[in-house]
Amino acid sequence: MLQNNDGFDFYAALCAQSARNTKIESRDFYDALREASTKKEILSLIKNCPNIDAQDHNGVTALMRAIGNDRDQIAELLIKNGANLDLRAVNHTSALMEAVVGHKTKIAKLLIEKGANLDLQVNSMHWCTYPRGWTALMLSIDRNGSEIAELLIKNGANLNLQSADGKTALMMAIEKGNTEIAQLLIEKGAKLDLQDNKGRPALLYAVWYGNKEIEKLITEKQQEKIQKTKEEVQKLQEKAKIATVKPYRSTPTQRLLRLRKLRGCR
């Protein structure tokens, strides 16, 4: 039996709630999972609970709670058995963001493999734990979670989303002094011409924070882009030149015959 120290049977309580059509609270469900002593009991609860995605008044699910409380086995079993990976709490954090904050690379990898949305942004107008517009990638950079940041970048996270103040993941990486992640972002195609709300591009961030390596890399990439553009323009000009039809020029005899025809002469 799944009982706490006072002898309370969580499983029986959940079944009773379900029978009465009473809304299952995420905290009740999580408490039952937490009290389970074996993997078999956890799986039984997950498979028999009428709503494993129940949210409390703060929007927190059992999955978010398990990740935040270092209950990795519970989190893994919820992820593998159909939990909604993209639900968000009132403060707009998601299960993936919880994994990022806790530096839980294994959980983050599993969430990514199971199709969690990598590009959810904090956009609540109410109080938020993190600045508006932040993504899991931005959060991983801010928390110095290079391993998870690399996972997100290599698995298709949008590199060019901007926070409410216009910052990109690249700008944040430069700001945090994370040259390795900044290089990876540039190599994977992060846009270099985006500007924050004050009109500052990534290059200016590199100059401001004294990151000579990234400054050089961005400059080289921009020069390559300019050179490529010049070459493309040149090719188009050459094609246009070949396709240009030369104007028709008649001979003196042809002009004389045309003039005589106009005058009615034969």
What six digits make up the tokens of 248?
């028709």
d(CA 121, CA 91): 11
d(CA 7, CA 80): 30
Domains 85-153 and 159-242 in one fold: yes
Q: Apex CA 93: angle with CA 89 and CA 95, to 5°?
A: 95
Contact 150, 140 (CB under 8 A): no
| CATH of 85-153 given 3.40.718.10, 1.25.40.20, 1.20.1440.130, 2.60.120.640 | 1.25.40.20
Q: Which of 87, 89, 111 is nearest to 99 (CA)?
A: 111
Instruction: Kindly give the parts of the chain with pLDDT less than 70.
Output: 1-25, 124-129, 242-249, 265-266
d(CA 66, CA 263): 100
Q: Which of 106, 44, 98 is nearest to 66 (CA)?
A: 98
Give pTM, 2 decimals.
0.79
Q: What is the pLDDT of residue 136?
A: 96
Q: What is the DSSP string of 195-244?
A: B-TTS-BHHHHHHHTT-HHHHHHHHHHHHHHHHHHHHHHHHHHHHHHHHP
d(CA 111, CA 105): 10
d(CA 174, CA 206): 6
Residue 195's beta-bridge partner residues? 201
Domain ranges for the chain, please list them: 1-84, 85-153, 159-242
Q: What is the pLDDT of residue 3?
A: 46
Residue 9's beta-bridge partner residues? 3
Tens digits of per-residue pLDDT, 150-199?
999 999 999 999 999 999 999 999 999 999 999 999 999 999 999 999 99
Q: Classify residue 146 as exposed, middle or buried by CB count within 10 Å of its CB (0-12, 13-18, 19+).
A: middle
Fold of 159-242: 1.25.40
CA separation, residue 173 to residues 71, 74, 143, 145, 182 (Å): 30, 32, 11, 11, 5
Identity of the residue numbered 208: W
Ramachandran angles phi, psi of 262, nearest 5°: -65, -30
Q: What is the pLDDT of residue 135?
A: 95
Contact 117, 86 (CB under 8 A): yes
